[in-house]
């Protein structure tokens, strides 16, 4: 998963970053709220960990901006020295999903992040995922459409799975590139667009087949369910087989 951490104390930021990487996530660190907020205009993340007392903007204001201005449901975890009941109420009322008190205990941080991700992205923690006629089996890394096996390269499969696991959600180009090629890995020019075009054809992603894969100019891609030619609301969970 792609995680953002907003923390002005370098040692705490490095501890959070290291803990997330140990858990298998990619973590991007920010020392100022304004830098993060600028980034969120063009990038997407799966979770935000942030401190309360920041040098430029207090944590609750950051959270309210994400909820009210971006209209984002990004899972948010406060990691802060604040521990009074009033502070906890204020942080949660601003729109945060959870709050833990410093000093950072690695086991607790891992547990809270893991729980938040499981609640927020249940489709990514299942043995088999079924989206209408599209059936993903992560154990064998295969995809079947209406029972028929679709031949996909490793990266095509990973991209298809990520898009379906995030139905209805805009994913930035950098988010997708990191997930498929890895952090620090250079993908060939236009490679992401080429993979997306191939998936449209191989997976028959069209309104007639119940899904629409759209490019959002300058940002990234969004896969959405379609019913009777209209975009359909999506609850965030898939039909499942454990």
Q: Quick check: 1 and 162 in contact, CB under 8 A?
A: no
72 and 136 co-located in one domain: no
Q: What is the pLDDT of residues 157-179, one digit of tens each?
A: 999 999 999 999 999 999 999 88
Among the candidates 120, 140, 166, a domain finishes at: 120
- CA dihedral (198, 203, 206, 212) in degrees, to 10, reads -80
For the CA atoms of 119, 121, 122, 125, what is the dihedral angle to 10 degrees?
-110
Identify which has the larger pLDDT, 143 or 229.
Answer: 143
Range of the domain at 91: 2-120
Residues 192 and 89 in one domain: no
Tokens of 93: 């009322």
Contact 160, 143 (CB under 8 A): yes
Q: Are residues 8 and 104 in the same domain?
A: yes
Q: What is the pLDDT of residue 121?
A: 85
Same domain, 157 and 98: no
Q: Where are the beta strands (DSSP E) in 2-50?
A: 2-6, 26-30, 47-50
Q: Measure the CA–CA gap between 44 and 42, rounded to whole angstroms.
A: 7
Cβ contacts of 98-105, under 8 Å, gap ≥ 24: 102/12, 104/12, 104/15, 104/16, 104/19, 104/79
- Inform me whether the pLDDT recorded for 191 exceeds 90: no
Work out the pLDDT band at 235, boundaries 50, 70, 90.
very low
Domain count, the chain: 2
pTM, rounded to two decimals: 0.78
Kindly report, residue by residue over 63-91, the tens digit of the pLDDT: 999 999 999 999 999 999 988 999 999 99
Q: Quick check: 7 pLDDT over 90?
A: yes
């Amino acid at each position: 998963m792609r995680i953002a951490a907003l923390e002005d104390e370098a040692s705490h930021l490095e501890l959070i970053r290291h803990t997330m990487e140990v858990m298998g996530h990619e973590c991007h660190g920010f020392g100022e709220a304004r830098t993060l907020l600028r980034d969120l205009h063009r990038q997407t993340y799966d979770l935000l960990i942030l401190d309360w007392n920041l040098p430029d903007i207090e944590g609750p204001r950051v959270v309210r901006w994400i909820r009210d201005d971006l209209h984002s449901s990004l899972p948010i975890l406060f990691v802060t020295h604040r521990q009074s009941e009033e502070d906890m109420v204020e942080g949660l009322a601003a729109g945060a999903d959870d709050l833990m008190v410093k000093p950072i205990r690695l086991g607790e941080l891992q547990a809270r992040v893991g729980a938040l991700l499981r609640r927020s992205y249940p489709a990514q923690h299942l043995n088999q995922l079924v989206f209408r006629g599209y059936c993903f089996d992560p154990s064998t890394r295969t995809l079947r459409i209406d029972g028929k096996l679709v031949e996909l390269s490793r990266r095509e499969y990973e991209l298809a799975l990520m898009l379906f696991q995030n139905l209805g959600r805009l994913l930035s180009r950098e988010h997708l590139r990191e997930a498929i090629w890895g952090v620090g890995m250079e993908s060939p020019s236009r490679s992401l667009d080429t993979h997306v075009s191939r998936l449209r054809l191989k997976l028959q992603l069209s309104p007639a087949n119940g899904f629409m894969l759209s490019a959002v100019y300058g940002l990234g891609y969004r896969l959405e369910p379609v019913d009777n030619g209209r975009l359909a609301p999506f609850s965030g969970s898939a039909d499942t087989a454990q």
